[in-house]
Amino acid sequence: MLEFATDNKTAKNLSRRYRDKKLRRIYQGIYTDDLTTSIENIVLQEWMKIIPYIVSRGILGYSSALVLKPVRFDSKSSIVFVVSTYEKTINLPGLVIKVYQGEPDKFFEQITPNLARSNLPRSLLENLTTVRGASYIGTKTVGIEGIEKILSKELHLRGEEKLNAIRDEARIIAQELNFNNEYEKLTKIISALLSTHHDKNTLVSPYAKAIAQNKPYDDYRVQLFDELIIYLKKCEFIFRQCQYEKNSFKNLSFYESYFSNFIEGTEFLIDEAEDIVFKGEEINNRHADSHDVLSNFTITNDLYEMSITPRTPKELIEILQRRHSILMKERPEKRPGEFKIEQNKAGNTYFVSPKESLGTLYQGFERYNILNPGFERALFMHFLISEVHPFDDGNGRLSRIMMNAELVSHEDYKIIIPTVHRDNYLNGLRLASRDKNFKTYVKVMDQAQAYTASINWKDYGEARDKIESDHANSTADEGIPLFNRILRTLKLSDIAS
């Protein structure tokens, strides 16, 4: 907790407690009763309370008005930019407060009872100023690309009227505070985003270009895809070659479909699934559930279909819609082959919004092309579809079909996710999506492919016996100890830490 010397009486009291070692002093007139946490950490945690005390009439400006947090300045300190009636540099433990002379009493908005910042139009102009002083390059402003991203998101979320309102207010601010050059830069960006300015070189940010082309995408997800690519490139994957043979392909495709549906809660006994797929029977009047298994098998057992991979973004969309229409044929309420029109989620995790789905798939495809065919592309494609969740239902099954098509086209073994491995698989996806921790996801997939390759698929009975004896079709609670022992006997890839 911080305590401030707001008058002489308080100052004397704080000084006495400081001498008695009951407080620590952070800066002249600022104390804390926290006797253990480093002063640097306290300053960075409480900076919004400190600035109003130290900088009279100060408001957050430049990059600080937009990001609302200190940014790294050098190896020892972060920095915050403030506008007041004077110029000064204040050095605190772990934090530099750079005060610029300006107009603190106009065009601002309150963010706490004691602290304000430049309002959006003003802060955009401030961040388009030319930075003087090499030490402040990259910190004082967010740069043109940062401005483009902010305006693009405003356009995407609030429409053209919002950008026009920003431009109108920025014109007034520019005239009064002498930001005329910055206003010219701002209006060019806004015009380009609103397609009233057709110079393709005006926009710098890929996100802004996508918005201007009416192809918005989920910026967080695209950053996530970039980080997955970097992680995949750090790994050394084993090539597990699979020679096509009709019976073995059929047997593997059966279990691929069986387990893929089991993951999604469409649960049958293996005997029941055999009757559905091999005899065409419907189980216990469960028409749609039965066809979920059968339609999945129809796709995965088709070597021609499973050898098709996208060469263009357009082909990716066509493949997704075609396979989804087959997969969900008996569930017309799920709009087979049609992209979602409402936001979908799993638990507290929201997937890509309908408006951003197509653009995110396009961005994903650009990155997919960077990767090596086979295992790298398979894991990326699976994660792409899982994160976008482009349809109302069936996205998990479709993501695994798309993944295995990448493997089949490269003569790699498919990946099946047996029931015993389900929890590890879903946990890997969660860690990757929420924490950008890809190790578990990649490790589980590598284990699953190694296990798939260890089974003799030519003999159906032998394959089933192994799956059951390994407890692969058991729940994690029942089967994981034995299944983990089986995994330890397999040759696995070198997965990055």
DSSP state of 115: E
Q: Consult the annotation and say whether 397 binds a ligand.
A: yes
Predicted confidence (pLDDT) per residue in 247-259, tens digit: 999 999 999 999 9
Predicted confidence (pLDDT) per residue in 272-309, tens digit: 999 999 998 888 889 989 999 999 999 999 999 999 99
Return the pLDDT at 200. Answer: 54
Q: What is the mean pLDDT of residues 209-217?
A: 87
Return the pLDDT at 40. Answer: 96
Active-site residue, selected from the candidate residues 291, 324, 382, 389 = 389
Q: Consult the annotation and say whether 399 binds a ligand.
A: yes
Q: Consult the annotation and say whether 479 binds a ligand.
A: no
Q: Which helix (H) or strand (E) holds 427?
A: helix 422-435
Return the pLDDT at 133. Answer: 80
| Phi, psi (rounded to 5 degrees) for 111 | -115, -25
Q: Which helix (H) or strand (E) holds 110?
A: strand 108-112
Return the pLDDT at 244. Answer: 94
pTM of the model: 0.80
| Phi, psi (rounded to 5 degrees) for 77 | -135, 155
For 84-102, the DSSP string reads ESS-EEEEETTEEEEEEES
Judged by DSSP in three states, 495 sits in coil
- Cα(428)–Cα(448) distance, integer angstroms: 12
Q: Consult the annotation and say whether 400 binds a ligand.
A: yes
pLDDT band of 405, cuts 50, 70, 90: very high
Among residues 161, 151, 158, which one has the least CA distance to residue 211?
151
Q: Consult the annotation and say whether 395 binds a ligand.
A: yes
- Sequence length of the chain is 497
Question: Across 290-380, where does the E strand assignment appear?
Answer: 345-346, 349-350
Return the pLDDT at 284. Answer: 83
- CA angle 140/219/406 to nearest 5° reads 140
In the residue annotation, 389 being an active-site residue is answered as yes
Domains of the chain: 144-212 (no CATH), 219-487 (1.10.3290.10)
Q: What is the mean pLDDT of residues 135-161?
A: 92
| 202, 208, 209, 212: CA torsion to nearest 10 | -90
- Cα(94)–Cα(37) distance, integer angstroms: 13
Rg over alpha carbons for the chain, rounded to the nearest Å, is: 29
pLDDT band of 374, cuts 50, 70, 90: very high
